[in-house]
Amino acid sequence: MLRHLPNAICVLRIALTWPTVVAIDRGDHGLALLLFAIAAVSDGIDGYLAKRFNWVSELGRVLDPLADKILLVAVFLTLTWQGLVPVWLATAAIARDVLISAGAIIYRLWFGDINGRPTVISKINTALQIAVLVLVLLVAAGVPAGSATVLILSIITFVTTVASGADYLARFARRAWHLPAR
């Protein structure tokens, strides 16, 4: 029974997306920050449990990145809609996720199992995306952090977003190129 705990935590992360978005939309940035932080921490917890106790499953391999994408895309869109996140950053983050997802689907359909793990740059990028969203929510909740800090972190996040997306696409292309002809 406990071996399914990481998947249940992923489902919780997906379930927290809607109330987080509603809180942002209502201007309750403190509540949104709390919900988003819980969801972000849950990502680390489910990953730790899955690896530590070998509670890895095929469902979890799909559910975990899906939960991350649903949460991050929804929060990026909502904060951008409110003018709190730069459009160029949200566009890059969402485009990266769409390209990676499309690349994974195409690779799976045409070439077979993906068997990939998140790259180091991808993990750094996800951490920076979470950090910039937390910082934006902190500022929106009234914590003085300064617009320069938000801008600098946004630029760094943008760079890692582009680098991570390019890295994934290059990896898919290299793997496909080196496969034997069918």
Does residue 128 contact residue 160 with C-beta atoms inside 8 Å? Answer: yes
pLDDT of residue 109: 81
Reduced to 3 states (helix: H, G, I; strand: E, B; else coil), residue 112 is: coil
Helix (H/G/I), strand (E/B), else coil: 11:
helix
This prediction has a pTM of 0.89
Q: Please state, in angstroms and rounded to a whole number, the distance separating the CA atoms of residues 130 and 150.
A: 12
Nearest to 72 by CA among 134, 117, 155, 114: 134
Where is 49: in which H helix or E strand? Answer: helix 29-52
Between residues 176 and 36, the one the model is more confident about:
36
What are 32-61's pLDDT values in tens digits?
A: 999 999 999 999 999 899 889 999 888 888
3-state secondary structure of 146: coil
Superfamily of domain 2-177 in CATH is CDP-alcohol phosphotransferase transmembrane (TM) domain (1.20.120.1760)
Give per-residue pLDDT as tens, 138-162.
999 998 877 889 999 999 999 999 9
Contact between 100 and 109 (Cβ < 8 Å):
no
